[in-house]
Every structure is written in structure tokens, then in C-alpha cells.
């Protein structure tokens, strides 16, 4: 129940990362009514920017649902956000909430993906998009997490990491420190600019999203058997495999679900011991957040 003793009219699930934000509006029973999208809402990019994207996606979702702006206290919101591992980020996001009277639950986007991928059952969920987050739920209820530290210090195997690796190789090639050719050295200047000044200007402004935007160039080059691109993706797969091994220490091995925009890229490149345990995810982060909202509703109802 909501704080005033009445059930909320809407359940709102927010999946936010460095690339974009998705919102699903459901009725009080969890039935989907509409979805909306907007720009990035990773807390690493700043709380005001995150809320701006969340609100834009919410407006689109309520419009798709054929509903107007919700009344005060009419929603319960669960947000799975990149950067939510940091308690200060979570506190700031809650403190700056413009949704008066709304109940707000904040978890990481990776944890939301874990719950969605296995519908609350044990398993390993690795979300590979701009960054990488990996969570395991063990049969005893223990939740273990790895990666998700953020670019550039972590998130190895993610889109930003891939773009960064490609750019490093390109700059070495420009300097004459690398002589092996690559298709990437032809396509990267189209994004960065060809002159030294263009590249330096790009680097000054680039964040994780800009580096991740270079990853499709690597994927396309690897499809054409470009040696450098294949090497980068092979290294990324090894990083993801290492991350899985760090959180799944069970004897039999938990089922593994890959999620995110690069899931199909890395699935076939994982070691055989991991490929054998790959399963199709039962749902995504939004499904996981709705499940969390419903579980909270049932617990509240049982206690009232």
C-alpha cells in the first residue's frame, strides 16, 4: 500500500543506463499499460540529467498508456539505474525526486536484470551494453556482484571498453607505433575527424556513451574477419568469462543469461564451459522491476 493507506493506481518501472532510459507503466496488478524511452539516466552522468530522462520517458509511457499525468501519491516507482551501487548517488536521486508522494525504490540496473532474467530464481545475469554488470543469485539466496565499476576503470567487455580499445589502436597506428592494417583505421576517422585537432576535440568531450558508439564499428569489422576487431572482441569475451567465474563458484554451475545490446556478440565467443550453460532470459530489467514492485505490494498487503 502507499503511505496514505491506499493502493497506488500505477506501478512504474524505470531501467536507466548510460545509453538510454526505458519506462513501463503498469496497473496496480502489474498489467503493462504503456512504455516510453528517453536519453541516458545513469547516475554517473549526474542526478539532474538522470531525472530529466526519467521524466521524459515517463511522460512517453503514460501517453502510450492513454493516461494523463498521475495524481500525487498515485504511483509506486522502482528504478534500476547504472551508478546506483553508490549510496550517495541513490540518496541524491531520492532527495531530488520531483514526484511528490510517490514511493521510490532504487536498485542497480544489473540487479533488476538478474531478477528479470530468471523471474527471481537462481542464476547468473550479465548485462553487456555501454558497460558491464554481472549478478548471481545463489540457491541459498545470496546475491553476488562483479564488474559495474564504470568506464574507464572497469566494465571490461562493454561497448565503451570496446570503443576505447579500438581508439587506442588507431592512435598508435597514426603515430607509427602499430603497423598492422585494420578496417577500423578507415572507419574511425568518419566518427572522430581526420585531423589531429578534430581527434583532440572529440577526446575532450567524449564520455562512455561516445566511446560505446564506436563499438558497432568493431562488431562490423569483426564480421568481415578484421584481425584487430576480432582480437578486441576475443579479449572482451575473456573479460566477461572471468567476471562470470568470479561470482559463480557453485559446483554444478548456475545457468547464465546474457542481456544487453552486445549479448549476441559475446554469446558465441564465450568459452565452451560457459556457452553450455547459456539460457534465454525469461525477461528483462523492466520485468524484474515490476516483479520487485509486486513482491513489495504482496508483503505490504500481508502485513496490513
Q: Domain 146-279 - what CATH class?
A: alpha beta
Intervals of the chain under pLDDT 50: 1-5, 297-304
Domains 10-116+284-303 and 146-279 share a fold: yes
- Collapsing DSSP to helix, strand or coil, 152 comes out as coil
Answer whether CATH 3.40.50.11540 is correct for domain 10-116+284-303: no
Determine how β-strand 103-108 pairs with β-strand 75-81. parallel
At 134-178, the pLDDT tens digits run 999 998 888 899 988 888 888 899 999 999 999 999 999 988 998
CB 72 within 8 A of CB 121: no
CB 72 within 8 A of CB 101: yes
Q: 125 pairs with which residues across the strands?
A: 135, 257
Task: Name the E strands within the chain.
Answer: 10-16, 21-27, 32-38, 75-81, 103-108, 123-128, 132-137, 143-147, 256-259
Give the pLDDT score at 179: 84
pTM to 2 decimal places: 0.79
Give the pLDDT score at 1: 39
Integer angstrom CA distances of residue 236 from 63, 119, 197, 233: 39, 27, 30, 5
- The structural domains of the chain, with segments of one domain joined by +, span 10-116+284-303, 146-279
CB 102 within 8 A of CB 73: yes
At 238-278, the pLDDT tens digits run 999 999 999 987 766 899 999 988 999 999 999 999 999 99
Give the pLDDT score at 7: 62
Amino acid at each position: 500500500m502507499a503511505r496514505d493507506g491506499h493502493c497506488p493506481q500505477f506501478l512504474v518501472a524505470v531501467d536507466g543506463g548510460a545509453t538510454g532510459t526505458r519506462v513501463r507503466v503498469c496497473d496496480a496488478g502489474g498489467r503493462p499499460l504503456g512504455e516510453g524511452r528517453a536519453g541516458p539516466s545513469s547516475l554517473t552522468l549526474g542526478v539532474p540529467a538522470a531525472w530529466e530522462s526519467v521524466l521524459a520517458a515517463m511522460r512517453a509511457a503514460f501517453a502510450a498508456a492513454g493516461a494523463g499525468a498521475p495524481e500525487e501519491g498515485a504511483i509506486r516507482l522502482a528504478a534500476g539505474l547504472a551508478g546506483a551501487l553508490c549510496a550517495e548517488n541513490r540518496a541524491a536521486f531520492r532527495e531530488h525526486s520531483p514526484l511528490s508522494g510517490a514511493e521510490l525504490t532504487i536498485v542497480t540496473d544489473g540487479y533488476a536484470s538478474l531478477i528479470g532474467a530468471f523471474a527471481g530464481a537462481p542464476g547468473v545475469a550479465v548485462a553487456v551494453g555501454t558497460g558491464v554488470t554481472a549478478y548471481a543469485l545463489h540457491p541459498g539466496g545470496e546475491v553476488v556482484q562483479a564488474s559495474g565499476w564504470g568506464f574507464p576503470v572497469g566494465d571490461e567487455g562493454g561497448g565503451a571498453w570496446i570503443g576505447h580499445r579500438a581508439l587506442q589502436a588507431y592512435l598508435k597506428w597514426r603515430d607509427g607505433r602499430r603497423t598492422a592494417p585494420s578496417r577500423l583505421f578507415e572507419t574511425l576517422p568518419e566518427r572522430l575527424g581526420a585531423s589531429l585537432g578534430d581527434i583532440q576535440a572529440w577526446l575532450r568531450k567524449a564520455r562512455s556513451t561516445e566511446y560505446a558508439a564506436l563499438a558497432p564499428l568493431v562488431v562490423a569489422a569483426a564480421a568481415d574477419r578484421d584481425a584487430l576487431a576480432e582480437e578486441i572482441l576475443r579479449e572482451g569475451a575473456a573479460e566477461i568469462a572471468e567476471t562470470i567465474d568470479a561470482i559463480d563458484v557453485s559446483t554444478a554451475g548456475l545457468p547464465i543469461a546474457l542481456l544487453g545490446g552486445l549479448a549476441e556478440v559475446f554469446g558465441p565467443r564465450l568459452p565452451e564451459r560457459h556457452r553450455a550453460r547459456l539460457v534465454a532470459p525469461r525477461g528483462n530489467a523492466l520485468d524484474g522491476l515490476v516483479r520487485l514492485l509486486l513482491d513489495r505490494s504482496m508483503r505490504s498487503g500481508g502485513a496490513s
